[in-house]
Amino acid sequence: MSSENGQKGQNGRVSHEFPPVFDKNSRVLILGTIPSPKSREQGFYYMHPQNRFWKTLCAVLETEIPDTVNARRELCLSYKIALWDVLESCEIAGASDSSIKREIPNDLKIIFDFCNITAVFTTGKKAHALYKKHFPDFPEDICLPSTSPANRAVSEEEILREYIKIKDYL
């Protein structure tokens, strides 16, 4: 991937560059669309400093926000949460989910065959639509609001009210 792929104002094909988070104990699967430029740069999920995912998830779990990638991975595993994205690759302008085209889905069967997933959550309308499009025979998902910095129309309180549903499946 060239360095300008995924940067603001540039259209380019991007690929998912880091593995999913899961183990045999995972029960809840949280799916985004595809990692943002900041997440690809740091090699982990929801790493833009203004993304509200980790703040919200940790509020749901009533725990401190881990400050390293390894600690975030361990937090998810300790609460039986699997993290991945619907897409393996796509064309996208910057981090704009609305610009996604020519997408190739991840092989989610890997997680479903290995874990006993009891609930699937998608983070945002685009992740939800892509999950429905590419995985119509998989378990129905629960669409949560996007925690992206671009989604400021939804308050932190509203996001937390929706994300608290995750706790029912842990």
- Residue of 54, 58, 41 lying closest to 148 (CA atoms): 54
Which residues, 6 or more positions from 81, have their beta carbon under 8 angstroms from its beta carbon? 21, 26, 27, 28, 29, 30, 57, 166, 170
Q: Helix, strand, coil: what percent of the chain each, to 5?
A: 30, 25, 45
Quote the CA–CA distance of 110 and 53 in Å, as a whole number: 24
CA atoms within 13 A of residue 4's CA, in its CB half-sphere = 4
Q: What are phi and psi of 91, to 5 degrees?
A: -95, 135
Q: Is 5 a catalytic residue?
A: no
Of the listed 5, 25, 51, 106, which one is catalytic? 51
Write out the catalytic residue numbers: 51
